[in-house]
Amino acid sequence: MTDDLKRQAAEAAIEFVEDGMKLGLGTGSTASWFVKLLGEKVRAGVNVVGVPTSEATAKLAQDEGIALTSLDEIDRLDLTVDGADEIGPDLALIKGGGGALLREKIVAAASARMLVIADAGKHVENLGAFPLPIEVVRFGKKASERAVAELISELGLSAELAWRIRGGELFATDEGHVIIDASFGLIPDPEALARGLSEIPGVVEHGLFLDLAETALIATPEGVKRLTRA
Ligand SMILES: O=C[C@H](O)[C@H](O)[C@H](O)COP(=O)(O)O
């Protein structure tokens, strides 16, 4: 059921693709549907070029026969289509459940437009039930963790911090960094938290995507809802 909804959101996003576009290609199970459907469009003759937001998406796009480039080769992307872990008020997002947040944010910021696609379960009244990914460099990672904890307490919040582990090892992002997952339950002021996290030297990026998504396509059992940021 959820997978069906993810596919429906991706199908709706395909309608935004025009011949000649430079596209940011998101990461995750929902964005993968978009990449697969884009592959069908390419095989049907539509000419696009993509910038993938992860090694996994690069591999999938290559398998689908989608031409790829990098942000070093082009000036600007027309459109980025990506999934999210949570979509809150004003299309504020939590992303990074798959660890691709850094490249995803760079690609979204280089795009004229970011379109986020999701099943209805991701649409929330307030951000924070999904643990917020915070990407830190390996050097001094314990000091970075302490700085994150201090910031959280200065902001009057509380959160459980956990290093992301996969296969018994610290999870490594495509850029070789590690991730702290911060379980807040509720993030009452995402802007203040985002600002504070960005000021910590060892924090490379965090999963709060604020003022980036312009449109959301949310697939519900009653059809795909389109939300636009005011
Ligand atoms: O790092 C991963 C990305 O931010 C994903 O877009 C996000 O986790 C949503 O993934 P999914 O569509 O698999 O739920």
Q: Which pLDDT tens digit goes with each residue over 26-51?
A: 999 999 999 999 999 999 999 999 99
The answer on pLDDT for 178 being more than 90 is: yes
pLDDT digits (tens, 9 = 90+) for 18-27: 999 999 999 9
Is 104 catalytic? The answer is yes
CATH homologous superfamily of 132-204: ACT domain (3.30.70.260)
Domain 2-121+210-220: CATH architecture, name and number where available:
3-Layer(aba) Sandwich (3.40)
Residue 24 Cβ contacting ligand 1 at under 6 Å:
no
Instruction: Specify the pLDDT at position 230.
Output: 84
pTM, entire model: 0.97
Q: What's the rounded Cα separation, in Å, for the pair 114 and 4?
A: 22
Q: Is the CB of 54 under 6 A from ligand 1?
A: no
Query: Which atom of ligand 1 lies nearest, measured to the CA of 83?
Result: 6
- Describe the strand order of the beta sheet including 203-206 as a list of residue ranges: 160-163, 178-183, 132-136, 203-206
What ipTM score was computed for the predicted complex, to two decimals? 0.99
Instruction: Report residue 1's pLDDT band, with 50, 70 and 90 as the boundaries.
Output: confident
Instruction: Indicate which atom in ligand 1 lies nearest the CA of residue 32.
Output: 12
The ranges assigned to domains in the chain are: 2-121+210-220, 132-204
Average pLDDT over residues 168-183: 98
